[in-house]
Amino acid sequence: MNDFNSQFNEAFRLGLEGGTEGIEKVAATTNSYIKKKIRQESFSRKIQPMEKVGKGEVQRDESGDGFYKLVDIEPDSRAVVLNLRAQPNARYVTGERARVNFLAISTERFEKNESELLAYEMPITKILQKNNILDIQHQEDMRFYKLMRAAVADSGLSHNASIGSDPFQRVDLIAGKRLHAGVKLKSTSVLMTEVRYLDVETWDATAVGDSIVTDIVKTGYEHPQLSKMNLQVTNKSDIKLATESSSEFDDEIWFFTAPEFMGKSYILEDTKFYIDKRGRLIMWESWEDIAQAIINVNAVSRVKITA
């Protein structure tokens, strides 16, 4: 067990025995742990990093109890060719804004008998990570996937690649990048599931280059690039729209521009962690208030693999 886990477990034990003040210290310590793990695991945060905002940076709904943040959109512009005595036409510049609404993501409230925790050989941090963090991450990515699908439905930047029983090839990858090139954008990230990534592992050096093959063999897909794009691979093959009976994620390859061309993701203050102890019963839950928006629908493109 590393030093962080040892220190956390000790704080957890003392906090449970130290009344309200001790429990508050446990919650504060766990907040830091949660934020660290979410940054490592959520694919949506890697594609569109989440910015932390405070209460003074958001606006309240005109009616109801919700809140949102206004985002400025870069005004369009153009240049013209003039002779030496000519003057350009004047145009009053107005900026557009987009409204990004916040929503809450919460885990269930978990309960455990204090004596039952002693039966676990794994660190308490592992229990918290398994039960709380991964649930929050999954909901974040589900929400972002819904935005991805809405973006390509609006823009039409989707390409069908028929491969039959064969693995998809680099030409199919280029098709997704070409969709962005057609709207004067550049793909900087590519996302696929582990099932689809197995196709990439069948490519030889003539298809992707010796250096990429070497990196994949040595380190897997932790931080590599594929066709000059940051490669994100996820095992969340069950992600789908709520209206769909089954997931299509394994048969999709997603392409994204740099975040500044795409949209915004915000988290209000920090991920929160609540813990309480009543007699022998320990209760804990986690939640966060986040906002995600793909403002430029052309910033996302997709290649759909068909048999």
Q: Which of 17-21, 34-38, 46-50, 79-83 has the highest mean predicted lDDT (pLDDT)? A: 46-50
pLDDT at 267 over 60: yes
Contacts of 122 (CB under 8 A, 6+ apart): none
- pLDDT tens for each residue of 15-33: 666 666 766 776 776 666 6
Q: Which domain holds residue 71?
A: 3-306
Max alpha carbon distance in the chain (Å)?
Answer: 87
Percent of the chain surpassing pLDDT 70: 69
Contacts of 11 (CB under 8 A, 6+ apart): 25, 26, 29
Q: What share of the chain is helix, strand, coil (3-state, %, to 5)?
A: 40, 25, 30
Give the Å distances, CA to CA, from 303 to 46, 115, 149, 204, 293.
Answer: 20, 52, 12, 21, 21
- Token code pair at residue 230: 């940051």
Domain count, the chain: 1
Q: What is the mean pLDDT of the chain?
A: 80
pTM for this structure? 0.79
Least confident of 159-163, 166-170, 210-214, 302-306: 210-214
- pLDDT tens for each residue of 73-132: 766 544 545 545 555 555 444 457 888 899 999 988 888 887 777 666 666 666 666 677
What's the rounded mean pLDDT across residues 163-182?
A: 88
What CATH number corresponds to the domain at position 254? 3.90.1690
